[in-house]
Chain A
Amino acid sequence: MENVASIFVKSIFVDNMIFAYFLGMCSYLAVSKNVKTSIGLGMAVIFVLAITLPINYLLEVHVLKEGALTWLSPNLKDLDLSYLAFILFIAVIAAMTQLVEMAVEKFSPSLYSSLGIFLPLIAVNCAIMGGSLFMQQRAFNNVAETTSYAIGSGVGWTLAIVGLAAIREKMEYSDVPAPLRGLGITFITVALMGIAFMCFSGLKI
């Protein structure tokens, strides 16, 4: 249980998707113009991460790993399907986002209209694919740890995008040199936020 909690906190602050690994940068830079939409996108990312990561974890353990298919027949213990990981993971992610989109549309039209355009875009958000690949690399012990990692990373991503959106809203009024306006100054802001987040790097729980 402690392990689950510590993975959660670590994935928010220490291994923050944006500041430590730059994952999901494209939508991070494109959508962070105002706080409200960035909260919506953040929620959608948490949601999709929390659904796809446990599924991909189960696939990894029971289908892809070397010898994972022994439950089918003992003859398969030398089979290593890990080269199929990319295709399988991205298929799960694309299918799940489609499903989530349909489910949300059916059961909660108000949430759908606020997330609307972002949901299908999440299939190609690197934070989701990155989450799956890091999950594979770190070899978590069980589904609970994976889920806590998924939600933690999502929360960390949301924290980062909401923070940046708030700063950008204020920055509207500042006089930035013309060539740096827009994209350039946003990069520098993210870098400064990243330096601030580095103070968590020694954090142990």
Chain B
Amino acid sequence: MSKLLSEKTKQVFLVPLSKNNPITVQVLGICSALAVTAKLEPALVMGLSVTIIVAFSNLIISLLRNTIPNRIRIIVQLVVVASLVTIVSEFLKAYAYDISVQLSVYIGLIITNCILMGRLEAFAMANNPWESFVDGFGNGFGYAWILVVVAFFRELLGSGTLLGFKVIPHSFYEAGYANNGLMILPPMALIIVACVIWVHRARNKELQEK
């Protein structure tokens, strides 16, 4: 075990969770992060799908990295990613049809999700398979937790539910509380991500921009 998780590998896994988070610091994969977060459930599925796809495409590309000619590497990467996305999409259609309908085109768009290309180019092309695999998981989870936080607030304040269950007691509504319909609309996703960035950068001063 100690050999599997050496100090460096541990760093590779932990850094993307906060200091080098794909969404708030590297600014990768924003599109899907904003679009699927109106409800918690699709956000969880999306986070999980992206994690699996990043980890395995990192692994495959890292295994192939010495045999890929430099000029056509983007196309090779795209083909590997597209095959993995096709597998995940067919899997979701078979076992979680409702969610795959809710996610609609955004599952297909994982192919062009910048997290994938970013990590493949920056990490998998230059590191060994095991570390690339761990890096994929780290970045996938870093992406997923932002999605879950955003979706949590949007679903709670927008529909008063979490994972489809009512959590705001009925007496609140009788006392005059109302769901904030604006939360479900696309622009609020941006504002919540901005708030996450705000908190994150207020706590990590070295990330602030001049």
Contacts and interface: CB of A to CB of B under 8 A. Distances in A.
Interface of A: 19-26, 29-30, 83-87, 90-91, 94, 120, 123-126, 128-130, 133-134, 137, 177-185, 187-188, 190-192, 194-195, 198
Contacts of B209: 181-183
B197 A22 contact: no
B111 interface: yes
B197 to A, nearest CB: 4
A14 to B, nearest CB: 13
B68 interface: no
Given A91-B75, A137-B104, A179-B201, 8 more contacts: A19-B186, A23-B31, A25-B34, A91-B79, A129-B109, A129-B112, A181-B209, A187-B194
A195 B187 contact: yes
Interface residues of B, number: 46
B31 A87 contact: no
B28 A184 contact: no
Contact of B111 (A83, A86, A183, A185): A86
A27 B194 CA distance: 17
B30 A22 contact: yes
B197 A26 contact: no
B63 interface: no
A22 B29 CA distance: 10
Interface of B: 24, 27-32, 34-35, 74-75, 78-79, 82-83, 85-86, 89-90, 104-105, 108-109, 111-114, 117, 185-191, 193-194, 197-202, 208-210
A179 B198 contact: yes
A120 B73 CA distance: 12
Contacts, number: 133
A29 B191 CA distance: 15
Contacts of A23: 31, 109
Contacts of B35: 21-22
A164 to B, nearest CB: 12
Contact of B30 (A29, A94, A125, A130): A29
B201 A86 contact: no
A87 B82 contact: yes
A26 B30 contact: yes
A129 B30 contact: no
Nearest to B208: A178
B89 A86 contact: yes
Contacts of B191: 187-188, 191
A184 B105 CA distance: 27
